[in-house]
């Protein structure tokens, strides 16, 4: 990982920040600066921090090499930072832990401040062999996971979560495409019982659309059914990557 600090209109090499962050955002970059919905990630970040400094985005793009990356911008102690990290392989499917435990989030609508609490939550509750852990409300419904959003499908109806969750960029993209295709969208509690009946998708900007293949619950492992939409929607999401220009 390479870490930079923004100072006097340029990035200078720095040491990784131990945290916590006031706000952070991250996304997958394919080789040669191809990204998916980068402006939406920057908008989400700026909705908390205010406008990024002039020159920040062009200077950031110049630092991205030919490899697949998972960059993160952050604000901590009044300083803007950039971490350039290698991107792991995308998960085609996701194995998820379901646990009814206290919500670890203190700021569910802001990405960054809760990173340490979410890491502790995974360490305490995540089942061996699973990829992530669901965050569950008092009624037992899943609101999101520690690193992504969740949706389900009831036939041609896209089912969104109940409760508070991070404004997911990938979820926003999926919801918009469903609307563009004339598909119905509704909100229901995403419970283990629902996951046993309907396809469940994990969404984030690193892995895209990753169907939940296993939901490890206290009563056993649930295998959500396959959605006929999956392959076409995965191809659509990966097809949304575009070359970023050095604009401000």
Q: What's the confidence (pLDDT) of residue 132?
A: 98
Extents of the domains making up the chain: 2-88, 94-238
Both tokens of residue 192? 């283990």
Residue 246, pLDDT score: 58
Predicted confidence (pLDDT) per residue in 39-70, tens digit = 999 999 999 999 999 999 999 999 998 999 99
Q: Is the pLDDT of residue 226 over 60?
A: yes
Per the prediction, the chain carries an average pLDDT of 96
For 193, phi then psi, to 5°, come to: -65, -40
Residues 6+ apart with CB under 8 A from 39: none
Is pLDDT above 80 for 102?
yes
Please answer whether residues 224 and 194 qualify as being in contact, where contact means their C-beta atoms are separated by less than 8 angstroms: no
Is pLDDT of 15 > 60? Answer: yes
pLDDT at 248: 47
Query: CA 243 to CA 55: how far, in whole Å?
Result: 18
Please give the CATH number for the structural domain made up of 2-88: 3.30.470
How far apart CA 140 and CA 123 sit, in angstroms, is 20
Read off the pLDDT of each residue in 178-199 and give the average, rounded to a whole number. 98
Nearest partner of 155 among 198, 93, 213, 191, judged by Cα: 198
Categorize the per-residue pLDDT at 32 as very low, low, confident or very high, splitting at 50, 70 and 90.
Answer: confident
Q: Are 163 and 141 in contact (CB under 8 A)?
A: yes
Please tell me the pTM assigned to this model.
0.95
Q: What secondary structure letter does DSSP report for 66?
A: S
CATH number of 94-238: 3.20.10.10
Alpha-carbon gap, residue 9 to 60, rounded angstroms: 11
Of residues 14, 5, 216, the one with CA closest to residue 98: 216
């Amino acid at each position: 990982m390479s870490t930079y600090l923004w100072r006097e209109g340029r990035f200078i090499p720095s040491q990784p920040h131990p945290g916590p962050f006031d706000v952070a955002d991250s996304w997958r970059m394919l080789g040669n600066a191809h990204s998916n919905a980068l402006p939406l990630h920057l908008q989400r970040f700026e909705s908390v921090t205010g406008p990024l400094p002039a020159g920040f985005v062009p200077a950031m793009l110049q630092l991205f090499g030919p490899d697949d990356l998972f960059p993160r911008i952050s604000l901590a102690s009044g300083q803007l930072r950039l971490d350039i990290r290698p991107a792991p392989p995308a998960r085609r499917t996701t194995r998820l832990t379901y646990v009814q435990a206290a919500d670890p989030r203190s700021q569910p609508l802001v990405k960054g401040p809760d990173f340490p609490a979410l890491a502790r939550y995974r360490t305490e509750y995540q089942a061996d062999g699973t990829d992530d852990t669901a965050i569950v409300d008092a009624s037992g419904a899943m609101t999101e996971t520690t690193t992504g959003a969740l949706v389900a499908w009831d036939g041609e109806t896209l089912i969104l979560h109940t409760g508070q969750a991070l404004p997911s960029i990938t979820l926003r993209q999926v919801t918009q495409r469903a609307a563009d295709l004339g598909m119905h969208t509704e909100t229901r509690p995403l419970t283990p019982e629902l996951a046993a009946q309907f396809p469940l998708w994990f969404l984030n900007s690193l892995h895209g659309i990753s169907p939940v293949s296993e939901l490890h619950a206290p009563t056993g492992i649930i295998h959500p059914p396959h959605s006929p939409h999956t392959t076409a929607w995965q191809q659509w999401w990966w097809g949304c990557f575009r070359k970023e220009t050095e604009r401000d």
